[in-house]
């Protein structure tokens, strides 16, 4: 019993149930009003009918008296009284004394007035001996030309009965309605409760750490499904972020430990040496160099995860991509020249995108830096930076003619710390392309890798395109 | 120069104190935001070096409070956060410069010195002079010993920044930030290449070098002949 009560309480707390209770109440009020209205309308209709009937009969009786005199009147009344469900007839003297009629007793005072009785009155018929078995009636009283009074009345049992019937019908209707509502209420509420329970069960499993779990959907596309779907999308994003975080920690464990070990080895080797000041200095400088590289890797990693998490500079504003492209070409051009390369660009003027200048600059810088690194010594000195609009998109590309990246490796090199074996000897963190990729994703765009000269046998070159949707968001 | 360091890591603070003193800079140290605010209000410093995360009052609120009290001592913010947006919020709170941790001391020293001398910097001078080198900011011309040297616009801005801070070490990052307005890691030695190009233009035909490379730190414009 207590459990049932508890369940009912829980049921009551559900929104569906509260809403249906409210509807039930409103409906009941409307129904009651309707029934009241219908009853009062039909009552007045009935009364009108009664009055008309009584008035017609009264007129007939007056006519009978006028034509056939007292005897005719008495005969007519007698005949009428015998009919089943007859009206009440009384002939009384001018002083109110009952002379004839089919009524045994009458509420006193009824015969004193003339015309319609103001209120229903009690009466008793001859056949009914029991004094309690009284009826209510209304009547019209007329004065005949010889001074006698004639009362023609009609029993009110009929409208009274009708009222009782209507009241009963109302009760039954309300009862059925209430029971139905309760049943629907219970079914809907229980259904909602069950689905809620399933959802909270699933979310508990998720909270316990199983991020691959998803909330159940019924496939009906209702509110619960829509809620589950958006929560599932959210979970997907959280899972992706979580994976990213795990990947970063794995990478930190793996790829930061190597340089740290190198760093430690160098310091140890210096300590084990014979201690000439110059050796120490050289060793310390190497150690600082190593730690700078470590910091650089670390910063790049953090930046990637921040960018991927989408919490990187929310400051997305209109930026002059043409300016960034020109500045970057100008910034790197001398370095390229020093490496025996030619860095040149074709930059459309006035290209604006919504974004973060620093991040886009960093991404482009990484691409140019890569191009310089890999084109150097390949015998193909040309590096081209191109900014152009292609349909709705804005494409900023860096093309070199170096060794390029084999087609099957192109997806890999964008991943963190992935460096092709041939490039392990080059300086770098292995994060440049990953950062560029993350930055592009943050700007609603993507990175495309392609061969610059697909027709060649070797030195096919690499073209990296940063594709921005013209005006995201 | 007298500076105040607000840093809660005592070991880091002790290291900074020693290193700054060796560089000839007098300093006070506060280990939390409230005492930092007190010292900065009571005394006069040339530069404040403020860690972002501090007990009792964080670095940014310390700076905003100082600015609210109309104290405009230059502030350098140190932060372990170091992301682009953190730098923006730091500068918006009233900081003048921002250095992410971990940093090289030479970088910090160079920035503190530039900030500390900012008051005396001839911001409104139209002509900068170092030795026989002259840079006219109005007409955008550079002359050495009366002979005009033609520079690219970016080279001009590079030289302008170096000459404005003549006699002080200017790091590569400071150049990247102030001349290119970039706050990221360019990976390679881009700045060195630009500086060496500039150097060849202003020193090629002259005996007296003006632009020195400071090992492990950066560059310095200085008239060596003048001492």
Poorest-pLDDT segment among A79-83, A437-441, B185-189: B185-189
Does A248 score more than 70 pLDDT?
A: no
Most B-contacting residue of A282, A319, A334 (CB-CB within 10 A), to test interface: A334
Q: Is A297 on the interface with B (CB under 8 A)?
A: no
pLDDT-above-90 percentage for chain A: 0
Cβ–Cβ contacts within 10 Å for residue A138, how many? 21
Residues 404-443 of A with CB under 8 A from B: 428, 432
Per residue in A371-419, pLDDT tens?
Answer: 888 888 777 788 888 888 887 788 888 888 877 777 777 776 666 665 5
Span between the terminal Cα atoms of chain A, in Å: 57
Alpha carbon distance A139, A158 (integer Å):
14
Alpha carbon distance B133, B143 (integer Å):
6
- Residue pair A291/A259 in contact (Cβ under 8 Å)? The answer is no
- Amino acid A472: pLDDT: 44
Q: Is A125 helix (H, G, I), strand (E, B) or coil?
A: strand
Which element (helix H / strand E) includes A202? helix A157-207
Alpha carbon distance A154, A134 (integer Å):
14
Q: Is A376 on the interface with B (CB under 8 A)?
A: no
Q: Taking the alpha carbons of A373, A376, A378, A384 in that order, is the dihedral positive or negative? A: positive
Average per-residue pLDDT for chain A: 79
- Residue pair A343/A328 in contact (Cβ under 8 Å)? The answer is no
The size of the A-B interface in CB pairs under 8 A is 67
Does A424 score more than 60 pLDDT?
A: no
- Amino acid A427: pLDDT: 59
Per residue in A10-45, pLDDT tens?
Answer: 666 666 667 777 877 887 788 788 878 887 888 788
- Amino acid A72: pLDDT: 84
Does A239 score more than 80 pLDDT?
A: yes
Nearest to B183 by CA among A358, A296, A356: A358
Q: Is A378 helix (H, G, I), strand (E, B) or coil?
A: coil
User: What's the gap in Å between the CA of B85 and the closest CA on chain A?
Assistant: 5
Average pLDDT of the residues in A166-181: 79
Angle between helices A223-251 and A277-308 (to 10 degrees): 170
Domains of chain B (ranges; CATH) run 2-120 (3.40.50.2300), 127-226 (1.10.10.10)
Q: For residue B184, which residues of chain A lie inside 8 Å, CB to CB?
A: 358, 361-362, 365
Residues of chain B with pLDDT under 70: 82-85, 118-123, 187, 225-227
DSSP character for A203? H
User: What's the gap in Å between the CA of B116 and the closest CA on chain A?
Assistant: 27
- Amino acid A14: pLDDT: 65
Q: Is A327 on the interface with B (CB under 8 A)?
A: yes
CB B88 to CB A313 under 8 A? yes
Cβ–Cβ contacts within 10 Å for residue B183, how many? 19
Per residue in B117-161, pLDDT tens?
Answer: 765 555 677 888 888 888 888 888 888 888 888 888 888 999 999
Q: Is B84 on the interface with A (CB under 8 A)?
A: yes
Q: Taking the alpha carbons of A231, A236, A242, A244 in that order, is the dihedral positive or negative? A: negative
Nearest to A405 by CA among A464, A324, A321: A464
Does A425 score more than 60 pLDDT?
A: no
pTM of the model: 0.61
Say if residue B175 is exposed, middle or buried (CB neighbours under 10 Å; 0-12, 13-18, 19+). buried
- Residue pair A241/A310 in contact (Cβ under 8 Å)? The answer is no
Find, in chain B, the residue whose alpha carbon is nearest to that of A368: B186
Secondary structure (H, E, C), chain B: CEEEEECCCHHHHHHHHHHHHHCCCEEEEECCHHHHHHHHHHCCCCEEEEECCCCCCCHHHHHHHHHHCCCCCCEEEEECCCCHHHHHHHHHCCCCEEEECCCCHHHHHHHHHHHHCHHHCCCCCCEEEECCEEEECCCCEEEECCEEECCCHHHHHHHHHHHHCCCCCEEHHHHHHHHCCCCCCCCCCHHHHHHHHHHHHHHCCCCCCCEEEECCCEEEECCHHHC
Ramachandran angles phi, psi of A120, nearest 5°: -60, 145
Closest CB to A334 among B82, B100, B193: B193
- Amino acid B219: pLDDT: 92
Per residue in B10-21, pLDDT tens?
Answer: 888 888 899 999
Q: Is B207 on the interface with A (CB under 8 A)?
A: no
Q: Is A296 on the interface with B (CB under 8 A)?
A: yes
Q: Is B92 on the interface with A (CB under 8 A)?
A: no
> What is the pLDDT confidence band of residue A426, given thresholds at 50, 70 and 90?
low
User: What's the gap in Å between the CA of A239 and the closest CA on chain B?
Assistant: 24
């Amino acid at each position: 019993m207590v459990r049932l009560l508890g369940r009912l309480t829980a049921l009551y707390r559900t929104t569906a149930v509260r809403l249906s209770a409210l509807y039930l109440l409103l409906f009941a009020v409307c129904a009651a009003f309707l029934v009241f209205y219908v009853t009062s309308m039909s009552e007045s209709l009935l009364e009108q009918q009664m009055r008309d009937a009584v008035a017609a009969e009264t007129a007939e009786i007056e006519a009978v008296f006028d034509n056939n005199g007292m005897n005719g009147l008495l005969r007519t009344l007698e005949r009428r009284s015998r009919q089943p469900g007859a009206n009440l007839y009384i002939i009384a003297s001018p002083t109110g004394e009952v002379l004839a009629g089919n009524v045994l007793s009458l509420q006193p005072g009824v015969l004193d007035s003339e015309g319609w009785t103001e209120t229903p009155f009690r009466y008793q018929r001859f056949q009914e001996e029991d004094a309690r078995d009284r009826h209510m009636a209304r009547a019209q009283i007329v004065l005949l030309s010889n001074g006698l009074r004639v009362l023609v009345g009609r029993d009110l049992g009929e409208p009274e009965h009708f009222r009782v019937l209507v009241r009963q019908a109302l009760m039954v209707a309300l009862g059925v309605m209430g029971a139905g509502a309760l049943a629907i209420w219970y079914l809907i509420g229980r259904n909602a409760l069950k689905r809620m329970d399933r959802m909270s069960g699933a979310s508990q499993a998720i909270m316990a750490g199983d991020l691959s779990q998803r909330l159940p959907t019924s496939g009906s596309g209702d509110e619960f499904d829509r809620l589950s779907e958006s929560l599932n999308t959210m979970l997907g994003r959280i899972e992706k972020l979580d994976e990213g975080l795990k990947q970063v920690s794995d990478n930190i464990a793996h790829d930061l430990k190597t340089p740290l070990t190198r760093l430690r080895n160098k310091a140890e080797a210096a300590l084990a040496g014979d201690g000439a000041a110059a050796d120490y200095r050289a060793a310390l400088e190497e150690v600082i160099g190593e730690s700078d590289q470590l910091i650089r890797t670390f910063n790049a990693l953090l930046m990637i995860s921040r960018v991927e998490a989408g919490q990187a500079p929310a400051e997305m504003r209109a930026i002059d991509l043409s300016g960034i492209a020109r500045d970057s070409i100008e910034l790197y051009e001398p370095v390229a020249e020093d490496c025996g390369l030619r860095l040149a660009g074709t930059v459309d003027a006035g290209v604006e995108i919504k974004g973060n200048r620093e991040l886009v600059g960093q991404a482009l810088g990484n691409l140019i830096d890569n191009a310089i690194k890999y084109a150097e010594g390949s015998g193909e000195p040309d590096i081209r930076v191109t900014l152009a609009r292609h349909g709705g998109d804005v494409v900023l590309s860096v093309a070199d003619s170096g060794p390029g990246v084999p087609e099957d490796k192109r997806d890999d090199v964008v991943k963190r710390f992935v460096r092709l074996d041939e490039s392990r000897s080059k300086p770098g963190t292995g994060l440049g392309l990953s950062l560029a990729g993350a930055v592009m994703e943050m700007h609603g765009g993507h990175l495309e890798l392609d061969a610059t000269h697909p027709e060649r046998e070797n030195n096919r070159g690499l073209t990296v395109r940063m594709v921005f949707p013209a005006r995201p968001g | 120069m007298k500076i105040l360091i607000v840093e809660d890591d005592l070991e880091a603070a002790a290291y900074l104190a020693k290193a700054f003193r060796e560089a000839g800079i007098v300093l006070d140290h506060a280990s939390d935001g409230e005492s930092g605010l007190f010292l900065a209000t009571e005394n006069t410093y040339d530069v404040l070096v403020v860690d972002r995360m501090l007990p009792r009052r964080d670095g940014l609120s310390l700076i905003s409070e100082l600015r609210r009290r109309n104290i405009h001592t230059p502030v350098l913010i140190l932060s372990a956060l170091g992301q682009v947006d953190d730098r923006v919020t730091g500068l918006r709170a009233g900081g003048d410069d921002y250095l992410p941790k971990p940093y090289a001391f030479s970088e910090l020293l160079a920035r503190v010195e530039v900030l500390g001398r900012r008051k005396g910097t001839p911001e409104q001078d139209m002509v900068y002079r170092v030795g026989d080198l002259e840079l006219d900011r109005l007409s955008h011309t550079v002359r050495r010993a009366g002979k005009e040297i033609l520079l690219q616009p970016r080279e001009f801005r590079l030289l302008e920044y170096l000459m404005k801070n003549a006699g002080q070490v200017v790091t590569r990052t400071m150049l990247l930030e102030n001349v290119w307005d970039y706050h990221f890691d360019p990976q390679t030695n881009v700045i060195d290449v630009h500086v060496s190009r500039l150097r060849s233009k202003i020193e090629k035909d002259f005996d007296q070098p003006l632009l020195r490379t400071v090992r492990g730190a950066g560059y310095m414009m200085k008239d060596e002949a003048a001492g």
